Structure 1
Amino acid sequence: MATVQLKNVSKRYGATEVLRGIDLDIADGELVVLVGPSGCGKSTLLRMLCGLEEISGGEIIVDGTVVNDTPPAGRGIAMVFQSYALYPHMSVFRNMAFGLKIHGAGRAERKQRVHEAAKALQIEHLLDRLPRELSGGQRQRVAIGRAIVRQPKLFLFDEPLSNLDAALRVKTRIELSRLHRELGATMVYVTHDQVEAMTLGDKIVVMHEGRIQQAGTPLELYQRPANRFVASFIGSPTINLLPGTLLPDSGAHEIGIRPEHLQLAEPGRAPPGGLHLRGEITLVEQLGESHLVYLRSEQGLELVMRGTAQTALRPGEAIEVVAAADSLSFFDTAGQALR
């Protein structure tokens, strides 16, 4: 497998700079997820890693070797795209074996590698079928298998699940996690779906406007966001952002509180140093195991609280909510975390 370093990498199209000062270390065997809104530069960065886009500045280093000028075929990298890009006239076996044949692998080696990859992906029974005879999830597994048989140093995935329906996305995501554990492979995965990022990544890299906002484990980003953007992007429902004037001693311009950290309070009692608000319920969304309670505070602020399904609450009901001090995030006027 491979280690990857990006040192001050940038990308410009004419006078437009789309990536700025990208510094990132990827450890051997790590699954790193690049996440961010459309247009943040994550797919461009992935294409630069595999050599499909030239870099405008900085260095890309794979296993200690600078690969800035190395063509895609010489980087030992396999990429799985959003579109399956399977040859429609070829069977699954031939689709998976084609790249090996082009690179001179013998018949026996091709057969062995394809069957090993098919077994890992649980598609052995599909090897004789044509792509049109497969479901979307099966086609995506074939595309992944085509990458696996090459035994690359590094796997790159560009939103590979975005064409699948919700249930199939979950199933395929679980299979990708299992595959990563079994292969011990170094992988870089691009998505705009923060749920995919949280569930797949050893490390998440949040990008915005061509810059890395924060890199860390899923829990680090969720519990200790570096700035307002990361706090808002990671988590569903999104974090509640409230004016710092609610806690004058905090010195914050804004206060962040996750919906699950808001709790019903006993009237007139608040946790020391924490947040205490009164409001009226405007909507209750039942989710089965829990519910989301939307409320408008006395100050006119809109909040959402995640509660247990056993607690009966109704729109129009007046409630008090509290949040402990250690569950709050604080941001300055520039949106940077204070602590």
Structure 2
Amino acid sequence: MTQVTLSNVSKSYGDTVVLQGVNLQIADGEFVVLVGPSGCGKTTLLRMMCGLEEITGGELSIDGVVVNHLPPAQRGIAMVFQSYALYPHMSVFDNMAFGLKLHGADRAERKRRIEAAAKALHIDHLLQRLPRELSGGQRQRVAIGRAIVRDPKLFLFDEPLSNLDASLRVKTRVELARLHRELKATMVYVTHDQVEAMTLGDKIVVMHEGRVQQAGTPVELYEQPANRFVATFIGSPSINLLPATVSASGDDGLVLALARGAQARAQVDAAQLRIGQAVEIGIRPEHFTSVVPNAMAPAAQDGDGVRFEGDVVLVEQLGESHLVYMRTDGGEELVMRGSALSRARPGDRAAWRAPAQALHVFDADGRAQRRLHGVESLAGTRTNA
């Protein structure tokens, strides 16, 4: 059983605060991804777990034991670095065996562990090669194998796929997910790529400016972001944000005033908002339900979320889908994701609509208001574009 607890953990370099008030629970066997923009503190937090950085304040415990002052070798942790960190003069086998030798494993035990790990990673045919004879993906698998053979309590990954090309990233990501299922090990993984985070993590921890903004499952972060930052960071393309004002509220949500007299209905908890308060509406590109080129959409029905009219500015074909960029009559710039069978073209006159249950609402401080329904209720909708 490997559980990790961070209690009010902070990190400072002199007067510069890098991390503050980090509280996090990592369960046994959980795959946790730390994600956020460059400089948010995620790699520093990982290095503190490993013991490569001292903790300024708070406590870090592994299986109930506070390890703040334990050296890295005594924490039972294996770390996989972004740069592979392989010894260039050693074979793959010797690179993987090096840590085991330091810990006193005999020759037979080293051979057994290395062969098992190499087979799991599909590098068993490469054991006698030198690192310079390997591709980038193969080198990264060797670095992962070197961690696996130590049978650590906790695996730490510091952006291990960032040096790989797009195709190799996807393949290695699949291998990591498979390994996690097979090893049932506790893993903490750092990345700035939110797609990588969404596909790998049991739990995602979104960080910004040295603080944890939200921790939860990929679905929780997507459906119920805690604030504007999480909503914009999770999801690609990013969520559309529009300024609005609260004009009415009730048990079924809010009525919001947009630019040029347009209105929107949102199914969110109105308890924390007052009439006349400035807010922002968030609509994910995939939740627009219609684009009608060269025509007007049907009039909004009672209970509809929001409707826009305007001109198509750009269409990006992505193969399996497309992105349509629109400038509305109110001056807003929006993007939607549609099916591959796009009928929209730049210059088309178009109308878009999004249902009330798809709208997010953020107050002036960026806090998200609780939605009354999740996006699972949108599963049956279809975008025509």
The question of a shared fold, defined as TM-score above 0.5 by the shorter chain, is answered with: yes
Checking the alignment, whether the CA contact within 8 Å between 2:304 and 2:354 is kept in structure 1 is no
1:184 alignment counterpart: 184
1:48 alignment counterpart: 48
Residue 334 of structure 2 corresponds to residue 308 of structure 1: no
Checking the alignment, whether the CA contact within 8 Å between 1:247 and 1:275 is kept in structure 2 is no
- In the superposition, the TM-score normalised over structure 2's length comes to 0.86
Residue 325 of structure 2 corresponds to residue 294 of structure 1: yes
Extract unaligned runs of 5+ from structure 1: none
1:101 alignment counterpart: 101
TM-fit CA distance, 1:269: 2.9
- Mapped to 1, the partners of 2:96 and 2:111 lie a distance apart of 10
1:321 alignment counterpart: 352
TM-fit CA distance, 1:271: 5.9
- Mapped to 2, the partners of 1:309 and 1:15 lie a distance apart of 52
Checking the alignment, whether the CA contact within 8 Å between 2:312 and 2:346 is kept in structure 1 is yes
| One-letter identity of the residue aligned with 1:202 | D
2:289 alignment counterpart: 263
Checking the alignment, whether the CA contact within 8 Å between 1:9 and 1:60 is kept in structure 2 is yes
- In the superposition, the TM-score normalised over structure 1's length comes to 0.98
Select between 115-124 and 241-250 the one with higher mean Cα deviation. Answer: 241-250
TM-fit CA distance, 1:103: 1.1
Checking the alignment, whether the CA contact within 8 Å between 1:270 and 1:322 is kept in structure 2 is no
Select between 26-35 and 314-323 the one with higher mean Cα deviation. Answer: 314-323
- Mapped to 2, the partners of 1:260 and 1:3 lie a distance apart of 37
Select between 146-155 and 305-314 the one with higher mean Cα deviation. Answer: 305-314
1:200 alignment counterpart: 200
Select between 272-281 and 12-21 the one with higher mean Cα deviation. Answer: 272-281
Counterparts in 2 of 1:208-227, with a 5 A limit? 208-227=208-227
| One-letter identity of the residue aligned with 2:351 | E
Checking the alignment, whether the CA contact within 8 Å between 1:263 and 1:305 is kept in structure 2 is no
Give secondary structure in 2 for the equivalent of 1:313. Answer: coil
- Mapped to 1, the partners of 2:146 and 2:50 lie a distance apart of 16
Identity %, equivalent residues: 73
Counterparts in 2 of 1:12-51, with a 5 A limit? 12-51=12-51
- Mapped to 1, the partners of 2:325 and 2:37 lie a distance apart of 25
- Mapped to 1, the partners of 2:340 and 2:84 lie a distance apart of 41
TM-fit CA distance, 1:244: 1.9
Checking the alignment, whether the CA contact within 8 Å between 2:324 and 2:337 is kept in structure 1 is yes
- Please give the per-residue CA displacement for 1:16-51, whole angstroms capped at 9, x wherever unaligned: 111000000000000000000000000000000010
Checking the alignment, whether the CA contact within 8 Å between 1:295 and 1:303 is kept in structure 2 is yes
Select between 305-314 and 261-270 the one with higher mean Cα deviation. Answer: 261-270
1:253 alignment counterpart: 279
- Mapped to 2, the partners of 1:270 and 1:155 lie a distance apart of 53
How many residues align? The count is 339
- Mapped to 2, the partners of 1:155 and 1:278 lie a distance apart of 51
Give secondary structure in 2 for the equivalent of 1:176. Answer: helix
- Mapped to 1, the partners of 2:75 and 2:342 lie a distance apart of 56
TM-fit CA distance, 1:279: 1.2
2:379 alignment counterpart: none
Distance 1:271 1:102, change over 3 A: farther
1:137 alignment counterpart: 137
TM-fit CA distance, 1:264: 1.6
Distance 1:271 1:71, change over 3 A: farther
- Please give the per-residue CA displacement for 1:144-165, whole angstroms capped at 9, x wherever unaligned: 0000000000000000000000
Give secondary structure in 1 for the equivalent of 2:232. Answer: helix
Give structure 1 regions of 4+ aligned residues with deviation exceeding 3 angstroms: 248-252
Select between 284-293 and 186-195 the one with higher mean Cα deviation. Answer: 284-293
Counterparts in 2 of 1:144-163, with a 5 A limit? 144-163=144-163
Checking the alignment, whether the CA contact within 8 Å between 1:194 and 1:234 is kept in structure 2 is yes
Checking the alignment, whether the CA contact within 8 Å between 1:84 and 1:140 is kept in structure 2 is yes
TM-fit CA distance, 1:263: 2.1
TM-fit CA distance, 1:270: 4.4
| One-letter identity of the residue aligned with 2:189 | Y
TM-fit CA distance, 1:308: 1.1
- CA RMSD in angstroms comes to 1.2
2:236 alignment counterpart: 236
- Please give the per-residue CA displacement for 1:276-302, whole angstroms capped at 9, x wherever unaligned: 111110000111121100000111111
Extract unaligned runs of 5+ from structure 2: 246-254, 258-264, 267-272, 292-296, 371-385
2:375 alignment counterpart: none
Counterparts in 2 of 1:112-131, with a 5 A limit? 112-131=112-131
- Mapped to 2, the partners of 1:203 and 1:110 lie a distance apart of 33
TM-fit CA distance, 1:268: 2.2
TM-fit CA distance, 1:267: 3.0
